[in-house]
Amino acid sequence: MGLGRAGAGLHIPVLSRARAAGTQLFGDEPVVACDPRRLPARRAGLVTTQTLAQAAALVDPGDTVAHVCTPPSVRTEVITELARLGFNRIVVEKPLAADTDDLARIIRLRRKHALHIEVVEPWLASTLTARLTDLVRNGTMGEVRSIAIVQNKPRFRRSLTAPGHPTAFDVELPHGVGLALRLAGNARVTHAAGYDLRVGDAVVARMGGAHIGLRHNAGARTEITSDLTAPVRERRITIRFDEGTATGHYAVSDDDDHSQLTVVRGGHAERVVLRDDSLTEWMIQAYRNFRLGGERGALSFGFATEVVQILSVGKNISAEPVVPAARTEATPQHAG
């Protein structure tokens, strides 16, 4: 559902690669795609429709995985319609919901219709993330003191011509927040800010970029920034330990499937390049979870709800007028 960048540009090609991996998790029937506004060029193995009812008539909903690739603002309606038609295995693009109100509706839908929902989080299936997780858990570099995540890319055309994401918090930050929670554990928001995208006389509110600060229960601090007006693309994480630093660079697009990691310890730097087709690996894991069902699905969904809740707090803070005397916790100088 949805044949924009996420649906036609990512999910359909990734499904083809996942099927070719020979995991026996996927059928060999054509992919049925639905979008009332656009139809892609004809391609082998793809059937297109303009309504969900038409799509449901071509498959067995009870034995089909539905991919929701629509903008966050309309996902609740799409999931509602899918549940009504009998679909109960659903992949949802990140973030799971645009705000806590929509999140509450999706939670109720999930409970009422016994839905198994997997939220797209390729960074959590990344080879680079696995390496970083090992560094954090094995303790050889001491405790994590801080994490800095930078997610920059120029996004002018899509923001100006195809508004679908409510704010810059909904574009790249879901990846960063999820990664920070995976590496350093539960956290609360300490400060946040967002700004408009401006090109000449054109202004797109709250789509220029965003910043959020987290304080983890274990003591580490995380700063996540995303500039959607940047001249270059970058997805970088820097973890500062007691006894060194790890800097990772995630693939910036689907043009390449490699990431890089540099670890500096005792004055010595070691760099490694990693094969990292993380979205394909995430898709295979999601379909395994559908096969296994039960607790695995509940854990994945619960993690996705935490990400939405943190992003919602950040959005609310960034929308408030800055009054330092009234908001000590939200100002960086008081964040420590």
Above 70 in pLDDT, residue 330? no
Above 60 in pLDDT, residue 335? no
Amino acid 28: pLDDT:
86
Q: Specify the amino acid at residue 82.
A: L
Amino acid 160: pLDDT:
87
Above 60 in pLDDT, residue 324? no
Q: Which residues contact 195 (CB under 8 A, 6 or more apart)?
A: 168, 206, 208, 209, 210
The C-alpha atoms of residue 72 and residue 321 are separated, in whole angstroms, by 25
| Span 194-233, pLDDT tens digits | 999 999 999 999 999 999 999 999 999 999 999 999 999 9
Closest CA to 128 of 282, 273, 300: 273
Amino acid 332: pLDDT:
42
Instruction: Please measure the distance between the N-terminal and C-terminal CA atoms of the chain and give it in whole angstroms.
Output: 44
Q: What domains can you pick out in the chain, each with its CATH number?
A: 5-120 (3.40.50.720), 123-278+312-319 (3.30.360.10)
Contact yes or no for 304/121 (Cβ under 8 A) = yes
Above 90 in pLDDT, residue 166? no
Could you tell me the two tokens for 131?
A: 């390496």
The C-alpha atoms of residue 211 and residue 317 are separated, in whole angstroms, by 11
Amino acid 295: pLDDT:
59
The C-alpha atoms of residue 213 and residue 225 are separated, in whole angstroms, by 9
HEC states along the chain?
CCCCHHHHHHHHHHHHHHHHCCCCCCCCCCEEEECCCCCCCCCCCEEEECCHHHHHHCCCHHHCEEEECCCHHHHHHHHHHHHHHCCCEEEECCCCCCCHHHHHHHHHHHHHHCCEEEECCHHHHCHHHHHHHHHHHHCCCCCEEEEEEEEEEECHHHHHHCCCCCCHHHCCHHHHHHHHHHHHCCEEEEEEEEEEEEECCEEEEEEEEEEEEEEECCCCEEEEEEECEEEEEEEEEEEEECCEEEEEECCCCCCCCEEEEEEEECCEEEEEEEECCHHHHHHHHHHHHHHHCCHHHHHHHHHHHHHHHHHHHHHHHHHCCCCHHHCCCCCHHHCC
Amino acid 221: pLDDT:
98
Higher model confidence: residue 141 or residue 73? 141
Largest CA distance in the chain: 63
- CB atoms < 10 A from the CB of 144, how many? 23
Q: How confident is the model at residue 336 (pLDDT cuts 50, 70, 90)?
A: very low
Low-confidence winner among 16-25, 83-92, 306-315 (lowest mean pLDDT): 16-25
Amino acid 322: pLDDT:
46
Amino acid 271: pLDDT:
98
Average pLDDT across the chain, whole number: 90
Amino acid 255: pLDDT:
79
Amino acid 300: pLDDT:
84
Percent of the chain exceeding pLDDT 90 equals 76
The C-alpha atoms of residue 248 and residue 278 are separated, in whole angstroms, by 14
Contact yes or no for 224/212 (Cβ under 8 A) = yes
Amino acid 331: pLDDT:
39
Contact yes or no for 17/277 (Cβ under 8 A) = yes
Mean pLDDT score, 179-194: 97
Higher model confidence: residue 325 or residue 108? 108
Contact yes or no for 90/68 (Cβ under 8 A) = yes
Which pTM does this prediction carry? 0.90
Contact yes or no for 262/274 (Cβ under 8 A) = no
Asked whether the bond before 154 is cis by omega within 30 degrees of 0, the reply is: no
Could you tell me the two tokens for 38?
A: 């656009």
Q: Specify the amino acid at residue 296.
A: R
Mean pLDDT score, 114-120: 95
Above 90 in pLDDT, residue 88? yes
Above 60 in pLDDT, residue 323? no
Could you tell me the two tokens for 150?
A: 């930078």
Mean pLDDT score, 105-121: 96
| Span 35-84, pLDDT tens digits | 888 776 677 789 999 999 999 999 999 999 999 999 888 999 999 999 99
Contact yes or no for 62/83 (Cβ under 8 A) = no
